[in-house]
Amino acid sequence: MVASSVSGCATHYQLEPRRTAEVGGPSWFGPSQAREQERLLRWERAVGPPFVMHHEPSADLPRATSDLLLVSWNVAVGEGDVLALLTDLRARDRRRPLVLLLQEAYREGDDVPQTLAAESVVAGRLGLDGGKRRREDIESIAAASGLNAYYVPSMRNGSPADSREDRGNAILTNLPLDDLGALELPFERQRRVAVAATVSGTSEDGTPWRIRVLSAHLDNLVGARRLWIAGGGFARARQARALVDFVRHDEVAILGGDFNTWFGFAEPAFQETARAFPDTEVSDFRATFRGLLRLDHLFFRLPDGWRAEFSRGESRYGSDHFPLVAQVHIGHLL
């Protein structure tokens, strides 16, 4: 991937490789400006490392397929019951390739630092407290589901006195998962790290295929100096442009996420991203957040002969967001 300049509404920044990938880990990208890097580093010091889990290929998975089931969903820091959703998805067709793009996944345990440097920054704790359904962290979900998993925390979920948790974005799939990437978005209010990976398979006519998939979560608010919600649209547009730039060379790419579009499909973050993913066709315009707002979106860039359709799920499965469920029909690669 080649770095390039991207113009934002508030500032100009450059997207660049940030560090060399460790074996089996992600390649890192982010803004080049020293001030943004310093802010992001203060948040990063409070979280644990990326989490990657690979399983042996399932015997249920066919050797060749031309259909893929894909879900994008904000799981509300473990309140969303991912295993229940998987049960329902597998009831349709257990042998179908499956990809989950998750936002607000969380991780709990010793990998999350308990002692923090003085300059570290943490986010307020989100998630259920005692007396309600037990939450499941991303490592437990990956182990119980048998899916390959990749998770990168964006921020610590509360202070060390509150929890031993971090939260961020994840990808789960029963397909091979490689070419892992982590993109630190331009800093606005909180550290946001989008995750990217490549999934691959073989179509029914024997043609190999590869798809770049991304899970992202944009800022919902900005500071008071930029008018909280009103200024958030400009911030999200800047973060969305970074996502678009990150995959500009990928012929086949699917981006799912909680874009926090308080103004729905009219927001620049949605409109500019949709233009860069020209095979995005929205037919279900229902709200995804508490029945009021369309915050969640899926975007597609597909080769000729491929197509995708998606709709909102009918249950929140315990989250405050509905999932978006897509079917991708894989055609011939020319």
Residue 218 lies in a domain: yes
For residues 223, 226, 231, 235, the Cα torsion angle rounded to the nearest 10 degrees is -70
Residue 60 lies in a domain: yes
Domain coverage including residue 97:
4-329
Residue 291 lies in a domain: yes
* Side chain identity at residue 19, one-letter code: R
pLDDT in tens, the chain (334 residues): 323 333 333 444 567 887 666 777 899 999 888 899 999 999 999 999 999 999 988 777 777 888 999 999 999 999 999 999 999 999 877 778 999 999 999 999 999 999 998 899 999 999 876 545 679 999 999 999 999 999 999 999 999 999 999 999 999 999 999 999 999 999 999 999 999 999 999 988 888 999 999 999 999 876 534 444 555 788 899 999 999 999 999 999 999 999 999 989 999 999 999 999 999 999 999 999 987 899 999 999 999 999 999 999 999 999 999 999 999 999 865 4
Rounded distance, CA 18 to CA 152, Å? 15
DSSP 8-class letter at 306? -
Ordered strands of the 296-301 beta sheet = 4-7, 12-19, 27-31, 177-184, 193-202, 208-217, 253-258, 296-301
Helix (H) or strand (E) holding 328: strand 324-329
Residue 70 lies in a domain: yes
Rounded distance, CA 203 to CA 205, Å? 5
Q: What is the pTM of this model?
A: 0.92
Tell me what pLDDT residue 222 has: 65
Residue 16 lies in a domain: yes
CATH number at residue 142: 3.60.10.10
Residue 159 lies in a domain: yes
Residue 296 lies in a domain: yes
Residue 334 lies in a domain: no
Q: How many domains are contained in the chain?
A: 1
Residues 44-79 have pLDDT tens digits of 999 999 999 999 887 777 778 889 999 999 999 999
Tell me what pLDDT residue 204 has: 84
